[in-house]
Structure 1
Amino acid sequence: MTDTASPTVLVFDVNETLLDIETLAPLFARVFGDAAVLRDWFAQTILHAEAATLAGHYLPFGRLAGGVLRMLGTVRGVPVGEADVEELRTRTLAMPPHPDVVPALRRLAAARFRLVTLTNSAPDPAVNPLERAGVAPLLERQFTVDAVRRFKPAPEVYRQVSDALGLPGPDFCLVAAHHWDTVGAQALGWAGALVTRPGNAAVPALPQPDVTAPDLEALAEAMIGRWRR
């Protein structure tokens, strides 16, 4: 990505980037006696989603997340029942936005960026987490991997967005809290913007994001300064 390129569409990851997964911690504290198991569960869910895509297999992200919860129960010798899996689903659908999300999105929209989302989570017929969180009105569109039945960072996932909006790669910037996600988008010529939520950082050996900041409001300021001069 060069300084002369100016993305017009910001594509936001959802889980952890916009919505706060730490609100799932009470479930892990109750089941495992350790809220920190949340981070192991999330990392293992991403790992197995990527493995499924590489192996040519697809299942909804929520179902995979429940399966990983049961796997961790087996590994740790802790019983995980159907009620626990259902609680995970219920809590996931009710995750709130981080406090910096709405102010940052409003500022970016005022700077004439188009705002969309792209998530590993399949649509839920009963609940739209972004609508429940009050974020949906700020978005132009919401995309999920379910349309291509592959998980990020598979190129088909990002390509569906550029195809749907009819714009070339340099018009897009992927905004995420996960370096592996920005790496996937940058491989297609997109820009990458990394918000280093607690527990997240860039890997020095991989292609670096174009913009990095510790919170979404600081990231918004940096993107406006770089691409809206």
Structure 2
Amino acid sequence: MSDNSHAVHVRDGWIGVEPTVLIFDVNETLIDVEAMSPLFERVFADTRVLREWFGQVVMYSMTVTLCGCYEDYFALGRGVFSMLGDIHGVKVTPSDLDDLEHGMRTMPAHPDVEEGLRRLRDAGFRMVTLTNSPPVAGGRTPLEHAGLAGYFERQFSVDTIRTFKPAALTYHLAARELDVPPSTCLMVAAHVWDTIGAQSAGLSAGLLTRPGNAPLPVHGLPQPNIVASDLPDFADRLIARWRT
């Protein structure tokens, strides 16, 4: 492994070869979950409930996969929102739930994303997305709403196989559809659970330390091959490592 100071040292045995395909998570990695803060302020009078909600949606997506069940990500989001209403003693109306789902579908891109994607595209990397969000029949995906779809060769959803990340099957779906070995793919995500899942499935991984996210320094778990503060930072580090 390179001794590039920008990269986290990777334990022997975890993938660290040159990637040809970058697979991007969407929610929070590319699009800004914090854009829904006004809804949580209005309903719960506390924007901190947004983070509680987001963490619970992730937890229950993993739960239904482990239990062999499936409901799509938007349905889980609505259910967890109602559950938190009961927990916090707040009345959640059908209109609130509709506003939540609209927010989940229409979050804007982080301001740094387009510049980072341009740098990676110009460096010759293939780019696709892999999201827990389902496709929208007859409508635009969250990525399309954010104006980012044109940067990506394909958009993959776990809804295709009714299994949420970080199950290995989800990452292998993207590699199989692209007809490339998992070892040639690098997962880019803002969440350590996603990078651990990808690396355990035979991919390499990059972590974006969006606010509220950081590496998990636990011996025995795979550490991201690259850690960066935002997408241009990640692009510069990846290009410096594999294109110069």
Offset at 1:2? Answer: 5.4
Offset at 1:127? Answer: 2.4
Which residue is 1:161 aligned to? 174
Which residue is 1:47 aligned to? 59
* Match status 1:104 vs 2:116: yes
Q: In the alignment, residue 57 of structure 1 is paired with which amino acid?
A: C
Which residue is 1:182 aligned to? 195
Offset at 1:98? Answer: 0.4
For 1:227 and 1:176, the matched residues in 2 are separated by 19
For 2:87 and 2:39, the matched residues in 1 are separated by 17
- Contact 2:15 2:183 (8 Å CA) reproduced: no
Which residue is 1:214 aligned to? 229
- Contact 2:23 2:186 (8 Å CA) reproduced: yes
- Structure 2 unaligned blocks of 5 or more: 1-13
- Structure 1 unaligned blocks of 5 or more: none
- The CA deviation string for residues 12-39 of structure 1, in whole angstroms up to 9 with x for no partner, is 0000000000110001001100011100
Q: 1:114 aligns with which of 126, 131, 135?
A: 126
Which structure exhibits the higher relative contact order, with contacts defined as CA atoms closer than 8 Å and separated by 6 or more residues?
Answer: 2
Which residue is 2:164 aligned to? 151
Which residue is 2:37 aligned to? 25
- Give the 4+ runs in structure 1 shifted more than 2 A: none
Gap change, CA 1:80 and 1:103, over 3 Å in 2? same
The count of corresponding residues between Structure 1 and Structure 2 is: 228
TM-score (norm 1): 0.97
Q: Secondary structure at the match of 1:226?
A: helix
- Out of 91-100 and 43-52, give the one that drifted further: 91-100
Q: In the alignment, residue 108 of structure 1 is paired with which amino acid?
A: L
- Contact 2:15 2:203 (8 Å CA) reproduced: no
Q: In the alignment, residue 182 of structure 1 is paired with which amino acid?
A: T
* Match status 1:133 vs 2:146: yes
TM-score (norm 2): 0.91
Which residue is 2:6 aligned to? none
Q: Secondary structure at the match of 1:175?
A: strand
Identity across matched positions, percent = 49
